[in-house]
């Protein structure tokens, strides 16, 4: 079974307006609601790809009920911890000539509620897949991902981490199966500007040397780079299209990579499906459907660049 963990889910309230005027009443031209959170996005895309999965995390109040009901209606299994106090957050995304976001802080998670999540994690079995994505609530320790990964370290569980800074770096000692920082997060990790493929390869390889089995660097319009467990380096292009919304694109890439790997055990094919899913979501108002993914997959080319010495 594939398990995704979203510690701070949200309702993403997307509003389109014309020339936002600060301090005045603005009228929406269009508005949409989506269940949000990186792990939730992974679950939704896995569901589109017919990969059974279970979404874990914390939900609170009427906003939490909306998130869960929406996921269930779309066929996603859910085993969220229901919070005794607080509401799952609402993230406001205002689109006009630019995009402005106001993200909610999220509810407080108690020690008892955290232990309930730990109990679910401890039940994972060999050959399960655990996906840890996104930020954590301010009430939880920044060692949380490290703590969770340590619980399954002695089992044959494939762990995937898509997070920033120390949330990601602290898990590397446990050799996660896959990590997927984007190019900006890679720059943040190593405190440098990366302006070339050669530098991207250099720093992606450093993350592999630090413990990750496979490393994907998503690069937006420049595609994606994969350094796999054998040291093979692959580069994916990005198909041409009208970018509608980048939220969930990287999460869709993670889901596509998981599905592609489970079906073929071939990293090149896994990257191809991952790139297709990521691009399809970027060209859609929400998580993309399968039809567009299949179309874009024909436009994805994977080039083997080189192999590093192991």
Domain with 295 in it: what CATH number?
3.40.1190.20
Domain assignment present for residue 30? The answer is no
pLDDT in tens, 24-50: 999 999 998 999 999 999 999 999 999
- Grade residue 310 by pLDDT with cuts at 50, 70 and 90: low
Comparing CA positions, the residue from 291, 289, 292, 293 lying closest to residue 274 is: 293
DSSP state letter for 152: T
Domain assignment present for residue 180? The answer is yes
pLDDT in tens, 120-142: 999 999 999 999 998 888 888 88
Q: Could you tell me where the DSSP H helices lie in the chain?
A: 38-48, 61-73, 111-122, 144-151, 165-169, 183-190, 197-209, 249-264, 267-282, 290-297
Find the catalytic residue in 162, 251, 266, 294.
251
Domain assignment present for residue 144? The answer is yes
The model carries a pTM of 0.92
**Is the pLDDT at 3 greater than 80, yes or no?**
yes
Query: Is 285 in contact with 32 (CB distance < 8 Å)?
Result: yes
Give the model's pLDDT for residue 141.
87
What is the spatial distance between Cα 87 and Cα 106, in angstroms, rounded to a whole number? 7
pLDDT in tens, 175-198: 999 999 999 999 999 999 998 999
What is the spatial distance between Cα 21 and Cα 9, in angstroms, rounded to a whole number? 29
Domain assignment present for residue 18? The answer is no
126 is catalytic: no
- Grade residue 303 by pLDDT with cuts at 50, 70 and 90: very high
What is the spatial distance between Cα 11 and Cα 228, in angstroms, rounded to a whole number? 35
Domain that holds residue 73: 2-8+37-85+107-307
**Is the pLDDT at 165 greater than 90, yes or no?**
no
Domain assignment present for residue 32? The answer is no
Domain assignment present for residue 148? The answer is yes
| b/e 262-288 (16+ beta carbons within 10 angstroms → b) | eeeeebbebbbbbbbbbbbbbbbebbb
Number of domains in the chain: 1
Domain assignment present for residue 192? The answer is yes
Give the model's pLDDT for residue 309.
63
Domain assignment present for residue 130? The answer is yes
């Amino acid at each position: 079974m594939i398990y995704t963990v979203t510690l701070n889910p949200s309702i993403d309230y997307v509003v389109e307006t014309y020339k936002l005027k600060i301090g005045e009443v603005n009228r929406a031209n269009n508005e949409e609601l989506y269940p949000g959170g990186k792990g939730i996005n992974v679950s939704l895309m896995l569901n589109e790809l017919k990969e059974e999965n279970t979404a874990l995390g914390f939900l609170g109040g009427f906003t939490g009920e909306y998130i869960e009901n929406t996921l269930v209606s779309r066929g996603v299994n859910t085993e969220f911890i229901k919070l005794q106090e607080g509401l799952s957050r609402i993230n406001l995304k205002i689109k006009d000539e630019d995009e402005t976001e106001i993200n909610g802080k999220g509810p407080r998670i108690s020690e008892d509620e955290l232990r309930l999540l730990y109990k679910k994690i401890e039940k994972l079995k060999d050959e399960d897949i655990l996906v840890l994505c996104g930020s954590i609530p301010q009430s939880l320790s920044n060692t949380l991902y490290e703590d969770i990964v340590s619980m399954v370290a002695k089992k044959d569980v494939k762990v995937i981490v898509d997070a920033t800074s120390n949330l990601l770096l602290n898990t590397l000692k446990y050799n996660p199966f896959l990590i997927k920082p984007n190019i900006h997060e890679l720059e943040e990790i190593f405190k440098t500007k990366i302006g070339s493929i050669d530098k991207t390869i250099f720093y992606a390889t450093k993350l592999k040397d630090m413990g990750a089995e496979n490393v994907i660097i998503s690069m937006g319009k420049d595609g994606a780079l994969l350094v796999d467990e054998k040291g093979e380096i692959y580069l994916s292009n990005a198909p041409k299209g009208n970018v509608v919304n980048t939220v969930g694109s990287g999460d869709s890439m993670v889901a596509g990579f998981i599905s592609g790997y489970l079906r073929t055990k071939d990293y090149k094919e896994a990257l191809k499906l991952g790139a297709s899913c990521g691009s399809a979501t970027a060209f859609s108002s929400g998580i993309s459907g399968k039809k567009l993914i299949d179309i874009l997959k024909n436009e994805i080319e994977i080039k083997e660049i080189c192999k590093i010495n192991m």
